[in-house]
Amino acid sequence: MKLSKTQYAEMAAEASAPSKSWFNIPKAFLIGGLICVAGEGILELFSAVGLEKDSAAAFTSITLVMCSAILTAVGLYPKVAKHGGAGTLVPITGFANAVVSPAIEFRTEGWILGVGSKVFAIAGPVILYGTAASIVYGLIYWAVKTITG
């Protein structure tokens, strides 16, 4: 069956529900903002107990990853993500959720073939291409610095 562009557009419009952007965008902004505010609060807490800026930032990242992983494991993070949408993709918590979710989903297949092989199913490409891009950018930076002195 061959479809014209207009027929395809009509079929796609019928199949996809209209998005309530006027409602979803502010909700995502609010949820993402609350996650960031929580991160800032944790950072201030670690700073208040006497940690240096770099150490406080590292412990904040670790805490956010741990909280996201725990909330994913007990089923709360997906519920927040259902309402927060893109706001829950705040990089560090969204990444932790992306790592933990497949591990939980495939845990019935065992530690090796389930959790071990599926834990990076979603996050693996991010790690791979992020690392590759950082190498390329680093080489470009090194070349420019070498040439310009």
Identify which of 100, 17, 13, 30 has the alpha carbon closest to the alpha carbon of residue 64.
Answer: 100
pLDDT for res 44: 97
**Percent of the chain residues past pLDDT 90, beyond the cut:** 46
Give domain limits for the chain: 31-148
CA 108 centroid distance within chain: 24
Residue 129: per-residue pLDDT: 87
Closest among 121, 72, 94 to 28, alpha carbons compared: 94
Lowest model confidence (mean pLDDT) among 71-80, 99-108, 116-125: 116-125
Residue 121 has pLDDT above 80, yes or no: no
- On average, the pLDDT of the chain sits at 88
Residue 98's identity, in one-letter code, is A
Read off the pLDDT of residues 20-70 as tens digits, 9 standing for 90 and up.
888 889 999 999 999 999 999 999 999 999 999 999 999 999 999 999 999
Write the CB contacts of 11 (distance below 8 Å, at least 6 apart in sequence). Answer: 3
Can you give the pLDDT at residue 95? 83
Q: pLDDT tens-digit profile of 104-118? A: 777 777 777 777 777
pLDDT of residue 32: 92
In this prediction, what percent of the chain has a pLDDT beyond 70? 99
Q: Is the pTM of this model over 0.85?
A: no
Dist CA 121 CA 105 (whole Å): 11
pLDDT over 90 (residue 130): no
Output the pLDDT for position 46.
Answer: 97
